[in-house]
Amino acid sequence: MKVVKKIIIATINIVIFIVSLTIPKSKKIILVGGWFGERFADNSKHFFISTFESKDKLTFDKVVWITRNTEIYNELRKNKFLVFKAWSFKSIWYHFRAKYHVIDQTLTDINPFFSIRSIRINLWHGFPLKNIGIFMKNNCVRKPQYGSRKWIIDKITSKGYWYDYYLLATSEFSANIIGNAFEVNRERIIISGYPRNYIALNEDSNLFIPQNEEIYRERIQAIINEGYKIIGFLPTFRDKRETMIFGTDNIKELEGFLDFCEESKLKIVGKFHFAGKNDKFGEFQTHEAFINLPSDADVYTFLNLFDVLITDYSSIYFDFLLWRKPIIFFPYDLEYYRDQDRGLIFDYEEYTPGPKVFNLDELKLILSSGIESLSSNYKTKYQKQANDLQDKIFGNVEELGIEHLVNKIKKI
């Protein structure tokens, strides 16, 4: 069946390749999609908006978003963006016309069959702490050598030749890690900044925010105006078990902690990983000290509102380094996660600049001194480690904006 499937895909590719020869490609058209066509978030979203807002300066005539989601389609269209459903006639037309096809998750972010003869770029969605790609224990299949006969066969039997693409990384160190994870040769890796991090370097950026996220931003901003401090709680998903909020399923204990937060004028803003479909969080979500963002929301809409970040193994904390604010790590199941679940690429202690807590009593103790004291202690104990890690992963971020990235793409 695998052989038959590959023959079918190869045949479709040949037909589309022949048709594409009759439709000239344009370097002035760029096409973007994200997360299986079902989200408007992360690197693809910020790349799309930044490019759309600067398209004249970047010499693009058309910046096109591709989606499979009706709500996303309707909202972007209402806000005058160029957006099409993946299988619509206009989508297919722009797939043929666009020289550049950009994704950040997988090839079905757009309509991959029609990417033939385009430059295919994967922005990906973060520098990893946890295992990804070939680092995963259950991933024993390695790509054949680049340019070999097997590699060429795999390319022509992949949808739209997406087996062969360019990958974004944020530094030489990052390129080495991510390149190895996805077995992408160094010459096919673009070194530039992640588009989702542009706002960390330019807080005055007036980016488009979808309505459902704007509602939450306004709510959180109103709470800040009342004198509350905001703690972002962003755990990652587990592959083999559900995520426990703050390491416990004891609702009474959770509610007691949230009572403490409310008394201390702290609000917890939670956002649980989009891939964590089976996570259960109980009735405590209705507590006044807890705000649960929609699971498909773009967390980068809210990072600048956080005074502190709490996470476990999520790569979000690497990006939060750019905000120069405290990070608390809550790896309540570190041994399990490292040895039996997804696993880690790096030594946890070395790559996590911040205090570690393993239960709510320890977390409460750290927070009880106040956010100002926490921030001061963080700068004293962890800021150098955080700065060194930031430099290692992101390099000179101030030079890596949308113009830098687009210019790199255009030189391919």
For the chain, the average pLDDT equals 90
Per-residue pLDDT for 156 more than 50?
yes
Task: Tell me the mean pLDDT in the region 4-23.
Answer: 94
Q: Coil, strand or helix: which one is 169?
A: strand
Whole-number percent of the chain with pLDDT over 70: 93
Instruction: Give pLDDT, residue 277.
Output: 47
Whole-number percent of the chain with pLDDT over 90: 71
Residue 239 CB: number of other CB atoms within 10 A?
16
Per-residue pLDDT for 366 more than 90?
yes
Write out pLDDT tens, residues 166-176.
Answer: 999 999 999 99
Instruction: Give pLDDT, residue 147.
Output: 74
Per-residue pLDDT for 242 more than 70?
yes
Distances in Å between the Cα of 238 and the Cα atoms of 221, 283, 330, 342, 343 are 31, 21, 14, 7, 10
Per-residue pLDDT for 283 more than 60?
no
Instruction: Give pLDDT, residue 133.
Output: 78
Write out pLDDT tens, residues 308-347.
Answer: 999 999 999 999 999 999 999 999 998 999 988 889 999 9
Instruction: Give pLDDT, residue 276.
Output: 47
Domain 2-191 CATH class label? alpha beta
Task: Tell me the mean pLDDT in the region 195-207.
Answer: 73
Q: Are 237 and 275 in contact (CB under 8 A)?
A: yes
Task: Tell me the mean pLDDT in the region 4-14.
Answer: 93
Write out pLDDT tens, residues 384-403.
Answer: 999 999 999 998 877 778 99
pTM equals: 0.91
Distance of alpha carbon 59 from alpha carbon 19, whole angstroms: 27
3-state DSSP helix/strand/coil percent for the chain, to nearest 5?
45, 15, 40
Per-residue pLDDT for 130 more than 70?
yes
Write out pLDDT tens, residues 37-52.
Answer: 999 999 999 999 999 9
Instruction: Give pLDDT, residue 295.
Output: 77
Write out pLDDT tens, residues 247-264.
Answer: 888 888 999 999 999 999
Distance of alpha carbon 52 from alpha carbon 267, whole angstroms: 35
Domain 212-395 CATH class label? alpha beta
Same fold for the pair 2-191 and 212-395: yes
Among the listed ranges 64-68, 148-152, 232-236, which one has the minimum average pLDDT value? 148-152
Each domain of the chain, given as residue ranges in start order, spans 2-191, 212-395
∠ CA 376-377-380, nearest 5°, is 90
Q: Comparing C-alpha atoms, which of 247, 235, 106, 245 is closest to residue 163?
A: 106
∠ CA 397-400-401, nearest 5°, is 120
* C-alpha count within 13 angstroms, C-beta hemisphere, residue 80: 3
Per-residue pLDDT for 274 more than 60?
no
Q: Are 313 and 332 in contact (CB under 8 A)?
A: no
